[in-house]
Structure 1
């Protein structure tokens, strides 16, 4: 994320003068901490619920479910880091948690942003193979390959987050009287290099792959509908859920990445203007928290759209109910046997 104290002036101003603060930031200190805490509570509850269903169900997860469970884990990682930001914002961007937590919290947030989109790349590729190249590449859709792919995506997300781990610093700004947790690169060239690299690998490349896969998936579904081809119901159900999750991701994350790209162009001097700088600062805050909402929206989609997920949930509840009944009957039988022995 590009979250940092908005009251601290831009270290690399694009027009050579300090841009005036055209918009007040009082709404930021009062409204956003409440929103962040709400997202945190709902996100933890919903994503833990999803992971419990996937992990405790007696049947092994399908390839799509492996990807979606890792997506839920990435969302859980994000919402667990957000309370620190709620305190940070409510304190007027005074960071009270020290350098270590400054790096770790931002690392967790960054890893969610990068890992999430690449888990969706894997999901999109899986649906593409399942519907478009069923016979040719079906053997590639195996759980062990899916788990290996998820492991690689976690590692790639960590790799993309290295600049955050290295360059996040806790710095005191005497003119504002705050000790802020900021992303401070040694110079503008380094900043633009890493930001440009992240725009390419965290937005342009994955969005291109996801868009290609989504178009092919929709085309395949249309062909099946026209030809009245009866595909496996499990594949159709999984595809509907994946398309819903992809749509939610586009709505929640694309505005953030677009604003981030424009911000990089502004700092590079390609775009100029104080008004644009102020508008992007406002949009960055709004779209960042819209992106956070995606971590709450995904589990809701699993329940509303995911018929297989609801089926697993019902089976899990039945299994728990049977175990509870069996345990209760066993306990009563044991107590009765003990009582009879005593009377004898």
Structure 2
């Protein structure tokens, strides 16, 4: 049973994630493409894949907005509900592993600088990213088969007008088992690897006196951004999987945790900013333009007020 008494909250979070995440993702995508065309590095390839994952997620987000605006009643074509398992959940699974690869790459760069300069590192990075996409797609397909594979009524939401919520007892058993397995594969293992890599990366950088302070702060910023993603976006969602498996039912608060996963696209902007010099430069230009715009608007209202005072 899904919680349907606060669709406004869901819609608000979706809108916030869309308005903050989309501009940052588009900007990061442009920066990645420009950097890859000039002088690509492994981190640029990984960042591009993470950006693509976010763009897929954000592209489908208006569909979730429509669902929330309709009080969580599915009034859209059946095919969109089936795509919901892929275009909404697939980027969530993919982001976890791309964050792992980013943390690992940063650790290898600092701890093993000689091996990091291997000329084949770009090829290895591309192969790793392809493997992550294939594994993530396979996981999404497995979830779909667990939910609907054993039923003749594939789109079982049409009866209750809900999407990916109402299951037969057999389907629910399969889904709960898959979700529990995903807790280990897409949360516990990635979180452990990220913590190990960032802790050791920061520890090594702090011991190197010749490393600039800004680089150390960027490493801390990446660790902080990754921790926010896991703590706010993924931890509650995966906790609902564990509780669901223990109670053998969908927790009533699961929809809240699923909604907060959309903020992943917002927190990824912190990681993009710490990785890409082009992103930092673009932020400075946007900041300068915003300040100039604010000063002009403020001056306009001040002069207008001054003019009216002397009339």
Distance 2:218 2:202 in 1: 13
Deviation of 1:34 (Å):
3.4
The TM-score normalised by the length of structure 2 is: 0.76
Which blocks of at least 5 consecutive residues in structure 1 are unaligned? 8-24, 269-276, 318-344
Deviation of 1:101 (Å):
1.4
Query: 3-state DSSP class of the match of 2:162?
Result: strand
1:181 paired with 2:163, answer yes
CA deviations 1:224-244 (Å, max 9, x no partner) are 2xxx2x248997576345324
Over the residues paired in the alignment, what is the CA RMSD in angstroms?
Answer: 3.1
Question: For residue 120 of structure 1, what is the aligned residue in structure 2?
Answer: 99
Query: How many equivalent residue pairs?
Result: 276
CA deviations 1:216-265 (Å, max 9, x no partner) are 222222332xxx2x248997576345324322323322232223322222
Deviation of 1:62 (Å):
2.1
Q: 2:226 aligns with which of 229, 237, 246?
A: 246
Question: For residue 182 of structure 2, what is the aligned residue in structure 1?
Answer: 198
| Maintained 8 Å contact 1:240/1:306 | no
CA deviations 1:169-198 (Å, max 9, x no partner) are 432576xxx422125363454233312221
Question: For residue 337 of structure 1, what is the aligned residue in structure 2?
Answer: none
| Maintained 8 Å contact 1:241/1:306 | no
Q: 1:105 aligns with which of 84, 107, 112?
A: 84
1:222 paired with 2:192, answer no
Distance 1:164 1:193 in 2: 10
Taking structure 1 as reference, are residues 187 and 299 closer, same or farther at Cα in structure 2, changes over 3 Å only? Answer: closer
Taking structure 1 as reference, are residues 294 and 164 closer, same or farther at Cα in structure 2, changes over 3 Å only? Answer: same
Higher gyration radius (CA)? 1
Higher helix share: 2
The TM-score normalised by the length of structure 1 is: 0.69
Taking structure 1 as reference, are residues 263 and 248 closer, same or farther at Cα in structure 2, changes over 3 Å only? Answer: same
Query: 3-state DSSP class of the match of 1:112?
Result: helix
Q: 2:10 aligns with which of 9, 26, 32?
A: 32
Distance 1:214 1:203 in 2: 16
Query: 3-state DSSP class of the match of 2:40?
Result: coil
1:87 paired with 2:66, answer yes
Q: Which runs of 4+ in 1 moved over 6 A?
A: 232-235, 314-317
Which blocks of at least 5 consecutive residues in structure 2 are unaligned? 149-153, 287-311
Q: 1:308 aligns with which of 272, 277, 295?
A: 277
Query: 3-state DSSP class of the match of 1:180?
Result: coil
